[in-house]
Amino acid sequence: MRWPVLPGVFGLLLLGSTARADDDLVRMLAAAHAQIGVTVRYAPAYVRLDYPGGDLPADRGVCSDVLVRALRAVGIDLQVAVHRDMQAHFSAYPDHWGLAGADANIDHRRVPNLERYFERSGKSLPLSRDPVDFEAGDFVSWRLDGGQPHIGMVSDRRSADGRRPLIIHNIGAGTQLEDVLFEWKMTGHFRYFAGPSGATP
């Protein structure tokens, strides 16, 4: 017996899922760009935050706050996601700070924790020195020359020579758009949403 086929049903489901991912990607990028000129200070100090949805004043933050704020624009709260995963799997996360348990005030603002969370969530992509491997909305992490962790978002804008995507990040002077993709040692490449093609990592 041959079962009747409903043409286009699975295609429509796939298209619907892809359209939602594309919409989230566009809104996330817009939210990241909107921080430029608004977040003008670097504020790495430990601060007690509300939970969920805790944040510093919009005029200040660190590199991770760029991602946190942009993802909240599409209903994703990294503060909650990282905290819950660290509560359940604390030993899976880096032990750089001598803590005995998860801390919702700071864990999601620490780059090594974000790297591990994205890895555990299946968002990792291979490291690359080829600009074509990076899509708008990707997250990239590095170690600066002094070993300090840093993270930023790949933008939809290109460098002056057109060869590289610019990065939205906060490295000390507020959120900026700069040509720094290959400036430091890359340690992570992550894709949270499917790209325009619908391909997932």
In a domain, 15, yes or no: no
> Given this model, what pLDDT does residue 194 score?
66
> Given this model, what pLDDT does residue 37 score?
98
In a domain, 10, yes or no: no
Tokens 């933008």 found at = 155
What is the H or E stretch that residue 166 is in?
strand 165-170
In a domain, 170, yes or no: yes
pTM for this structure?
Answer: 0.88
Tally of domains within the chain: 1
CA distance 112 to 187: 10
Who's near 50: CB < 8 A, 6+ residues apart? Answer: none
C-alpha separations of 76 from 56, 70, 71, 142, 152 in Å: 17, 9, 5, 23, 17
What is the H or E stretch that residue 189 is in?
strand 185-190
The residue type at 54: G
In a domain, 150, yes or no: yes
The residue type at 142: W
In a domain, 171, yes or no: yes
For 42, the domain range is: 37-190
In a domain, 198, yes or no: no
CA distance 142 to 140: 7
Q: 61 forms bridges with which residues in the sheet? A: 42
In a domain, 183, yes or no: yes
Q: What is the pLDDT along the chain (201 residues), one digit of tens a residue?
A: 444 444 454 444 344 556 677 899 999 999 999 999 999 999 999 999 999 999 999 999 999 999 999 999 999 999 999 999 999 999 999 999 999 999 999 999 999 999 999 999 999 999 999 999 999 999 999 999 999 999 999 999 999 999 999 999 999 999 999 999 999 999 999 999 964 433 333
> Given this model, what pLDDT does residue 21 score?
74
- As given in the structure block, the two tokens for residue 38 are 């608004």
Q: Which long-range contacts (CB under 8 A, 24 or more apart) does 39-48 make?
A: 39/65, 39/66, 39/170, 39/174, 39/175, 40/173, 40/174, 40/175, 41/174, 42/170, 42/171, 42/172, 42/173, 42/174, 46/105, 46/106, 47/105, 48/105
In a domain, 200, yes or no: no
